[in-house]
Structures are given as structure tokens and as C-alpha cells.
Structure 1
Amino acid sequence: MVDEIAPETVAALLDAEDPPLVVDVSTEAEFALGHVPGSINVPLSNLVSHLDRVAGAEHVVTVCPRGEASVQAVRLLSAYEGTEDARIESMAGGLAAWDGPLEEGLDEGHGDGEEGGDDERR
């Protein structure tokens, strides 16, 4: 069974001294429409090829629109070297259950795991 974390708990942890790494596994287009502040976007389809963006984190919370793909992401991340010591959880209910603020746009290393990119798409 995959560990899940309540959206309210994620919100509280984001204000803590050592917040978790929030990895949004939505598509780039979904991420640009709105995501948890400070989260990074690594679409589920690209997750395995971009584990370097997650490796070394002590606490990872995966997020997606409804909480289904993020459960798959937890399973994938838990199976790879570099994440074996991390606490990895899926945000229960996904963004549909998130009552906190949302950021719009892309993170600096958006979607495909590459820095920069063509921001004309927005």
C-alpha cells in the first residue's frame, strides 16, 4: 500500500523549516494551469528518466490532479536507487482536494527535466 498524506498536512509542512520536495507528476499543460507553490513538474511519463531531480531528497510528496498518478509515482520512486532512504508519499485526493493557494506557469526546469526551454508555449 502506498503512503498518502492529507493536503492540510502538506500545507503545514510547506511552512516548516525543512519542507518536503513536492513533485507534481501532471502533464506540463496541467502543471502550468495551477500547482502547489514551490512544486516541481516531472510528468509521470518522464519520471524514471529524471530521477536526478528527486534523488537525495529526504521527504517527497507526489501530486497530480486527482491523486491517482501520484500513487503510481510513489511506487516508481520507491523502487529506484537514490530514493530508498526518502519518505515518499502521495497527496491524497490530488489538487482536487487542495484548498491552499495555487501557482500558475512552469517551474524553471519544467516538464521534461531540462533547464530553461521554450517559454513561448505559455
Structure 2
Amino acid sequence: MSGASEKTLQRAGIIDYQAIYLHPGHHVGYFPGSQPIHIKLIFSKTDGKILGVQAFGQAGVARRVDVISMAMQLNGTVYDLEESELCYAPQFGAAKDPINMAGMIAGNNLREDLPLADWNQLQTNEQQIIDVRSPAEFSSGHIPGAVNIPLEEMRQRIEELSPDKEVWLICGVGQRAYYAFRLLFQSGYKAKILSGGMQTYLAKYKN
């Protein structure tokens, strides 16, 4: 961990922030032994300034936290993380490092290209939660109250959604939810993505 946590910001009366979650591998997936890094990045909604980072995993964690910590010391923003040039070798990282991915998710959120739902409002029942994973994945565990509409069926079943209620999308880690978001957005629905997918849900509510 480096920088502020959400609790620290709230105690200081700072509420204009956003948190994102991601779970990338510590190096490329085709190279044996890739381990997930679970990252939470906190940044200002106003200008993207990095406020804090938390991460855990079995490999590659300290390196990523150190880089983001240095960016914070230099008053860096999530846009700086997007464009960071980092050391690359298949056994140590990826062409798009987890640091770049965190910056891209946060930057796209601030540019409103990737609207993210607030995990802290999950229990309000003011939204319809749609799980776009496969039926087998859904049956292995899901958010209470979620409805399973697999991504490949979304176009055919889109009329099952209420146009008067915001749609919150979830999948395993976020990629399929993003594809579903693009489809719903183009069809006139108001939709958001639960950042980090079921991996975030399990970490926040089940562990």
C-alpha cells in the first residue's frame, strides 16, 4: 500500500475521488507461471491525480506499487500511468503492464468512455445487475439478485432489460462486461461496469 486509503480520505473530508479494481497477471499469460496481481487505485475525479494504491499477490507486487508511489510523489496522474514506459520481458511483465492497465481504466473512466459503478452502492437495489458470464460460471457463484444474460445472448435478450433502470454489468474481471456495455450504450441504455468483476466481489464481500 502507498498513499491514502478510502477511509483516510473520508476522515479528511475528501469525497471527490474514484477507486478502480483490476486483476492482471504479473507477466504475459503465455509464459508459464503467471500470477494475478490484485490492484486498487484511488484517484481524484477532478484531475486524475493519484491518491493511493493498494495491491497484493504472489509476484510482481512491490515493483508496481513502487512505480505508482513514485508517480504520486511527483504529483502524477492516471494519464501518466497510461503513458508510462516500463521495462518489458515476457517473464517479468507485459507490453501493457498492470500499471498501464490501471491508468487506462482510470483514464477511460474520467473521459466517460468507461462508466464504472460504485461498489459501495451495490446493496441499494436501485439498479438491475446483469451477469454476462456463462451459465456454468454464474451457477458457481454470483451477486445476489443478479440476472444471468451471457454476453453472446445479450443482443437477442436485450428487451428483458428495463430501459428505466440503470444496468450494472459484471463478468469475471471486466472484459466481457465492457463488450456488453458498448452494446447497451449503442442501444440507448444507461449502463455501468462493476470494476474488476467477480474477482473484486469475492475479495470485498466473501473473504
Normalising to structure 1: TM-score of the pair? 0.69
Q: Within 2, Cα distance between the matches of 1:77 and 1:61?
A: 11
Match of 2:132 in 1: 25
2:126 and 2:165 in contact (8 A); partners too:
no
- What are the equivalent positions in structure 2 for 1:1-122 lying under 5 Å apart? 1-9=113-121, 11=122, 14=123, 16=124, 18-80=125-187, 84=188, 86-98=189-201, 99-100=204-205
Deviation at 1:77, TM superposition (A): 0.7
Q: Percent identity?
A: 23
Counterpart residue type for residue 93 of structure 1: G
Q: CA RMSD in A?
A: 1.6
Deviation at 1:100, TM superposition (A): 2.7
Q: Within 1, Cα distance between the matches of 2:175 and 2:126?
A: 23
Q: Which has the higher contact order (CA 8 A, sep 6+)?
A: 1
Secondary structure of 1:5 counterpart = coil
1:26 and 1:42 in contact (8 A); partners too:
yes
Structure 1 residue runs without a partner (length 5+): 102-122
- Corresponding pairs, count: 92
The higher radius of gyration belongs to 2
1:2 and 1:75 in contact (8 A); partners too:
no
Classify 1:97/1:76 alpha carbon distance in 2 versus 1 (closer, same or farther; 3 Å): same
Normalising to structure 2: TM-score of the pair? 0.42
Classify 1:27/1:66 alpha carbon distance in 2 versus 1 (closer, same or farther; 3 Å): same
